[in-house]
Amino acid sequence: MSLVSTSQKIIAYSGIVLFLVGITGNTMNIIVFSSVPAYRRAPATFYFLIESIFKCIFLLVNLPPRIIAFSFGYDFANESVVWCKTRQYLLMMSSTTAVSCICLSTIDQYFVTSPNPSLRRMSRIKWSHRIVTIVIITWFLHAIPFCLYFNISPITKTCISTNQTLSFYIPIYFLLVACATPVLIISIFTGLAYRNIRRTAVPARQRADRQLIQMTLMQVVLVLLSVSQLGVWYMYTVITSGTVKNQDQMLKEYLIYAIISTETTIYYSGSFYVFVCTSSRFRQTIKEFFFARRRTNTVHPSQQA
């Protein structure tokens, strides 16, 4: 079996699994975090809710077209200019918003676990609503050039950036904005939150929830494992940008990138299962929320004397 055929099968099969697992898990997150009162009041879980919504958007826009392209050789983005532009816009907007939310939840856990009352007071649900609104507007505006300047190339017949400045910015963006900056923010505030936990007998004595802290920290591990792969790839891309490559090497690099970018969606697919594994409270909430509703909706036959 050739390298191309093997790579296509890996991308298609893993993409199907990640898509089904991710949509199911993120939908569960959305239902729980938007319906359970205890979670609706916590800024960190509000960030989880918004993150899950944009993860669903990313998975829906990213994986089905990729699966079809590598399974059947048909990429609609190379046929429709509207879809070419729309897909790039939604991918950029949803991915950056989702990653921003995990950064915000990490920062919030630093505030929550702080022994300083002034810092703990900075963790407020009203503030988180405003911050998320600003973040969404920022990334909506940031994605506009990708919508404007992505087009179907008349030479390669593929959906690519047709603007030289944007083409130069894309690897820098992925390396610095999408990878290095989130990893730096997450690492710093995770370390600070962990230090706060170690310093106090009861984490965030007045407001913190150890289970919520565990959920956030394990999300961080998922992000670091996923995003770091893409960061290493774009670092390699920048370093070798001036190297002349033959067709065989370019094909191998494209397949490697396709595999890495598909597997990176583990971050977009795995949060619900991380929450289930790390938080007994979350597991109990899931059981109570769904099974209690089942019992409530069950019609019991009337008992005759």
3-state secondary structure of 159: strand
Distance of alpha carbon 48 from its chain centroid, rounded?
A: 10
Question: End-to-end CA distance of the chain, in Å?
Answer: 72
- 295 within a domain of the structure (yes/no): no
pLDDT of residue 294: 56
Whether residue 208 is predicted with pLDDT greater than 60 in this model: the reply is no
pLDDT of residue 3: 66
pLDDT of residue 205: 42
- φ, ψ of residue 97 in degrees (nearest 5): -65, -45
Sign of the torsion formed by the C-alpha atoms of 143, 145, 148 and 151: negative
Q: Are 67 and 97 in contact (CB under 8 A)?
A: no
Task: Name the band, by pLDDT with cuts 50, 70 and 90, for residue 303.
Answer: very low
Task: Name the band, by pLDDT with cuts 50, 70 and 90, for residue 249.
Answer: confident
Whether residue 230 is predicted with pLDDT greater than 60 in this model: the reply is yes
Which range of 114-118, 123-127, 182-186 scores highest in mean pLDDT? It is: 123-127
Percent pLDDT > 90 in the chain is 34
- 22 within a domain of the structure (yes/no): yes
For residue 223 the two structure tokens come to: 């992000």
Residues 6+ apart with CB under 8 A from 180: 231
Provide the domain count of the chain.
1
Q: Residue 117: which domain range? A: 3-282
The DSSP symbol for 153 reads -
- 289 within a domain of the structure (yes/no): no
| Among 284, 278, 176, 161, CA closest to 227 | 176
- Average pLDDT of the residues in 151-162: 90
Cα gap 133→141, rounded to integer Å: 12
- 300 within a domain of the structure (yes/no): no
Percent pLDDT > 70 in the chain is 90
Cα three-residue angle 15-20-26, rounded to 5 degrees: 115
Across 180-189, 202-211, 229-238, 265-274, least confident range: 202-211
- 82 within a domain of the structure (yes/no): yes
- 302 within a domain of the structure (yes/no): no
- 17 within a domain of the structure (yes/no): yes
**Digit-coded pLDDT (tens) for 18-61:** 999 999 999 999 999 998 887 888 898 999 999 999 999 999 99
- Average pLDDT of the residues in 135-161: 93
CATH number for position 245: 1.20.1070.10
User: Of residues 227 and 202, which shows the higher confidence score?
Assistant: 227
- 297 within a domain of the structure (yes/no): no
Whether residue 141 is predicted with pLDDT greater than 90 in this model: the reply is yes
Global pTM value: 0.85
**Digit-coded pLDDT (tens) for 254-301:** 778 777 777 788 889 988 998 888 888 788 888 887 776 555 555 444
Cα gap 230→272, rounded to integer Å: 22
